[in-house]
Chains A and B, each alone.
Chain A
Amino acid sequence: MTKKVKLSDLTDMFKDLGNVEALEGVTIEGDIELDISGGGGLNPALAYALGHETAQISVHLANIANMLGYPVGQAFAGMAGVGIGGMAAPTAGITAPARLNKLIPSKFEVKNVEEWKHTIQEVTLGATSADGGSRKSTVTLGGENSLPFYFDTEMPHRNYVTMDVFDMPIGMAKAVKMNYEDVINDPAEWAKKVVRDFNADMVTIHLISTDPLINDTSAREAAKVVEDVLQAVDVPIVIGGSGNPQKDPEVLEKAAEVAEGERCLLASASLNLDYARIAKAANDYGHAVLSWTQLEINAQKELNRKLMKQCDVPRENIVMDPTTAALGYGLDYAYTNMERIRLAGLMGDEELTFPMSSGTTNAWGARESWMVSSPLKQDSDWGPREYRGPIWEIVTGLSLALAGNDLFMMMHPTSVQVVKEITQTLFGLKEEETIDITNWIGAEV
């Protein structure tokens, strides 16, 4: 589209557009014909304000007029904000497009968040011989003063991973199982393997065989397994029950007793079991408590309050598990629940200033992580599950790391490695050579 316009029409045109005071009294002399090509050159906001056609022409003319020294820029500025019914009105301050020859210098500035005045409680797991335990290393969680990896303040401790070990063979996704076939009947060997081969910072021993509906293993026998694991590895450990609310207090009491002084994490106290017994076991034998609620911030506050006030658990012995739902299966709740908990903690809610733990292994419950292929015919091919499973666990864990989670309970060695890599990268532990991305477009990848 090409339009011919006479420069002398300019004043008339502007007159039709309304009060353009800056142009009043300006007459343009001459009678030159201009070619105005369509298709481009107009400020979309202005186009709205002025009506498309006219805008195209006027913008071009304005450019010319500008060069001739007419103050049209101001004229346009004055006109911005003239909304046409039904159209979005432009925001104020738009000036006519004028080609600039120099960048407008600018300084980027942003403030730190002021309301993050509180520190997340530090909790140390594991005790060395100096502290009456037998661990070679300890893990300290918490201590944050801002959201994870933010620039507002340094994050004092990196994220840690505790890998799952079970006291009996259990059903596992194939991709997970492959890694444990040689140790599946021996929790101590299993524990050794995850520390030695898979770089686990900690080990979680799940005493699931104690469930009356599974093997109903006695608390005493289960405690032996805990002793074996403590013998086999020298990292801090988490002791998990079966999830059976009637049996767990007894099992965890016994386990706490045999692990006296090792500063284990007892998993878990929850509102639907006798949390007071678990709290007492932790206090009596020098352990920390995992305070587990199901995706509900108020329930989390309630349980923490009860542990502190009713059961006298010291603040430095509480870790929270606000529940992890897998990617695609409620991670939106889990993510936001954790983010809200952490923000509330940083802003001073004393019932929520505790480090958090995630049962990231839950990701393996999502069908995307374990099914051979989609059960839906309309879906595109899901590709090999060997690669789908670990990345499902990774993305689930990583999301929660960004929401404020400190400790990850995980299963697949690749997932552990990658979650560690990304969290330690964001934390600032990873030195890598700078990759020059200035010309990334042309990269042959």
Chain B
Amino acid sequence: MKLNSPLQAYKFLPGTNCGECGEATCMAFASHLIDRSLKLTDCTPILDDKFKKKYAELDALLAPEIREVEIGVGDHIVKIGGDDVLYRHKLTFFNQNALAYDVWDTMDEADLVARVEQIRDFRKFYVGEFLQLDMIAVRSISDDPKKFADTVKKVMGTTDLPLVLCSFNPKVLKAGLEVAGDKNPLIYAANKDNWQEVADLALEYNVPVALFAPNDLDMLKSLAKTFLEMGMENLVLDPGTFPTGKDLRTTFHNFLKIRRAGIEGDRDIAFPIMAVPLTAWMAHDDPVSASYWETVVASVFTIKYGDIMLLHSIEPYALLPEMHIRDTIYTDPRKPVTVDPAVNDVGSPTADSPVIVTTNFALTYYTVESDLSSNGIDCYLMAVDTDGIGVEAAVAGGQLTAAKVKKGLEEAGFDLKEKTSHNTLVLPGLAARLQGDVEDEVGANVMIGPPDSGRIPGWMEKNWPPAKK
């Protein structure tokens, strides 16, 4: 964005401090525009006709340096790009990179459906939500428009995930668009040879389009400029992903160069970037090596500026790290990830159920909660206010103490003697050293659980209910 202080944004706002946006003052709202935590449209008064000009000006000034591109429609829409910084600590990265897994038009039907289902359904619970995969890339190996269209149709019959239609043959792409044109797929790709026809298709169907110029940034920029000139802004840049050796190093440099130029204001190249780690499979025959190398390349370009990537391996040992590294990079570093301190029910606890103590660090809380609920353990789960710090660091740093546990019980109105038959708390294994203090402070029995909450089910079998004293 072109603004760097709230004051600059303030000048364009109505200045009435009316509070419609949920902020007390226009200045407060302006600061949220600058850190991108609120949208300009949250100020309803400025949508009024009389502010039309100011609205338009401010909106243009607030637009992110890297354009945002949408792929797909409806619930599964994927947004990529939209970044303003080169380092996540300077603000945060927006729109996590989209992970697209491939299918191809020479697959037999049963395999195709099974693969799409696997991609569609893969999920892992993490910090209160599921990590999932985003897109399907349909590759034309046959170069036969009909086969391609049939494959696209079949994929669409199995999932609503957004699509990337991949072919360098405009006829094949057209056949795909005839089937999927109203689903706003990304078409891949225009290159130096086919760009005119692909441009016609992108215009005709009004879909985003990828530009491919392997290791030729002049050409890539040229294509982008040309497409912009023809009125297309929904562009994705693929500078080529060379999977090995010095070429991979060059690819890495290309990604850095494109993003740096874009953030520094070269509008012609300020678009989301695509990586194709799938090319790792062109370098390795053995599937485990290929899969490993693909994951490695995907990780490099998740960290350094890849906004969308096309991948092949759907082995869990590839998917899990790919999903986690993007979560790592795209987590907003400004937000303390916490849950509200409380004593919550997990399942349907009774007076005989255990009371499990943990912290209000979201990663800790949700890990513990899902370990309990997914194993069908009915209990009370207490999130102690540790300022959003996990168990071990909170014990070390003094945010998880006996006094905090006591305060938490009081504030939640949870009287152990009244609510339970056992007057017992279960502390995390990593908080074992608090046992005595908590016993004294709360006046309850304290049991020490295992170090990892994944082990609570086994621990319960041996230790719950507690022996009567």
Contact = CB atoms under 8 A, between A and B. Distances in A.
A151 B221 contact: no
Contact of B231 (A96, A104, A384, A435): A96
Nearest to B227: A100
B234 interface: yes
7 contacts: A98-B230, A108-B269, A336-B333, A391-B292, A395-B299, A432-B244, A434-B247
A406 B173 CA distance: 46
B321 A39 contact: no
Contact of B315 (A89, A109, A383, A435): A383
A434 B251 CA distance: 12
B214 A437 contact: yes
Given A39-B181, A97-B230, A392-B321, 17 more contacts: A40-B203, A40-B204, A43-B231, A85-B52, A86-B47, A99-B199, A100-B226, A327-B321, A331-B325, A376-B374, A378-B370, A380-B122, A380-B123, A382-B124, A383-B315, A395-B299, A399-B328
Contacts of B303: 335, 399, 402
Nearest to A83: B56
B60 A81 contact: yes
A101 B196 CA distance: 7
B74 interface: no
Contacts of A98: 229-231
A445 B225 contact: no
A317 B291 CA distance: 40
B261 A432 contact: no
A172 B249 CA distance: 35
B403 interface: no
A335 B253 CA distance: 20
Given A332-B329, A435-B243, A445 B282 contact: yes
A89 B40 CA distance: 11
Interface of A is mostly: loop
A425 B248 contact: yes
Contact of B200 (A45, A99, A339, A384): A99
Contacts of B256: 150-151
Contacts of A422: 296, 300
Given A376-B370, A402-B303, A426-B248, A110 B260 contact: yes
A382 B300 contact: no
A31 to B, nearest CB: 27
Contact of B125 (A376, A383, A395, A433): A376
B116 to A, nearest CB: 15
B93 to A, nearest CB: 11
A42 B140 CA distance: 27
Interface of B: 41, 47-49, 52, 55-56, 59-60, 63, 87-89, 121-126, 130, 139-141, 143, 166-168, 181-182, 188, 191-192, 195-196, 199-200, 203-206, 214, 217-226, 229-234, 240-249, 252-253, 256-257, 260-261, 264, 266, 268-269, 276, 278-279, 281-283, 288, 290, 292-293, 295-296, 299-300, 303-304, 312, 315-318, 320-321, 324-325, 327-329, 331, 333, 363, 370-371, 374-375, 390, 393, 452, 454, 457
A336 B89 contact: yes
Contact of B232 (A97, A107, A382): A97
A375 B375 contact: yes
Contacts of B281: 443, 445
Contacts of B48: 85
A384 B454 CA distance: 18
B246 A431 contact: yes
B257 A151 contact: yes
B328 A435 contact: no
Interface centre among A40, A150, A335, A440 (most CB of B within 10 A): A440
Interface string A81-98: 111011011011011111
Contacts of B219: 103
A149 B56 CA distance: 41
Contact of B141 (A96, A379, A442): A442
A329 B88 CA distance: 18
A107 B371 contact: no
Contacts of B225: 104, 106
A438 interface: yes
A108 B231 contact: no
A139 to B, nearest CB: 22
Nearest to B299: A395
A313 interface: no
A339 B93 CA distance: 15
Contact of A91 (B60, B200, B205): B60
B204 A387 contact: no
B316 A40 contact: no
Contacts of A381: 316
A35 to B, nearest CB: 14
B312 A445 contact: yes
Contacts of A100: 196, 199, 226, 229-230
Interface centre among A387, A392, A431, A445 (most CB of B within 10 A): A445
Given A39-B182, A387-B315, A395-B321, A107 B221 contact: yes
A150 B260 CA distance: 12
A107 B222 CA distance: 8
A392 B56 CA distance: 47
Nearest to B223: A103
A395 B52 contact: no
B232 to A, nearest CB: 7
Contacts of B192: 103
Given A339-B89, A442-B143, A391 B246 contact: no
In this complex, the interface size class of chain A, counting residues with CB under 8 Å from chain B, is 35 or more
Interface stretch (A123-131, A274-282, A366-374): A366-374
A46 interface: yes
Given A108-B221, A395-B325, A442 B229 contact: no
Contacts of A111: 260, 264
B221 to A, nearest CB: 4
B249 A388 contact: no
Given A375-B371, A391-B295, A391-B317, A89 B283 contact: no
Contact of B242 (A105, A327, A435, A445): A435
Contact of A440 (B252, B282, B300): B282
Contacts of B166: 441
A103 B89 contact: no
Given A329-B363, A388-B316, A442-B141, A104 B321 contact: no
Nearest to A92: B60
Interface in A138-165: 149-151
Contact of A387 (B276, B288, B331): B288
A439 interface: yes
Contacts of A335: 303, 328-329
A444 interface: yes
A382 B260 CA distance: 37
A173 B268 CA distance: 50
A343 interface: yes
A41 interface: yes
A150 B305 CA distance: 13
Contact of A104 (B130, B222, B283): B222
Given A149-B249, A391-B295, A425-B249, A380 B243 contact: no
A122 to B, nearest CB: 22
B279 A437 contact: yes
Contacts of B321: 327, 391-392, 394-395
Given A328-B324, A395-B295, A425-B245, A104 B229 contact: yes
A418 interface: yes
Contacts of B222: 103-106
B140 A442 contact: yes
Contact of B252 (A336, A374, A376, A426): A426
A435 B252 contact: no
Contacts of B121: 380
B214 A438 contact: yes
A95 B204 CA distance: 17
Contacts of A81: 56, 60
B66 to A, nearest CB: 13
Contacts of B290: 445
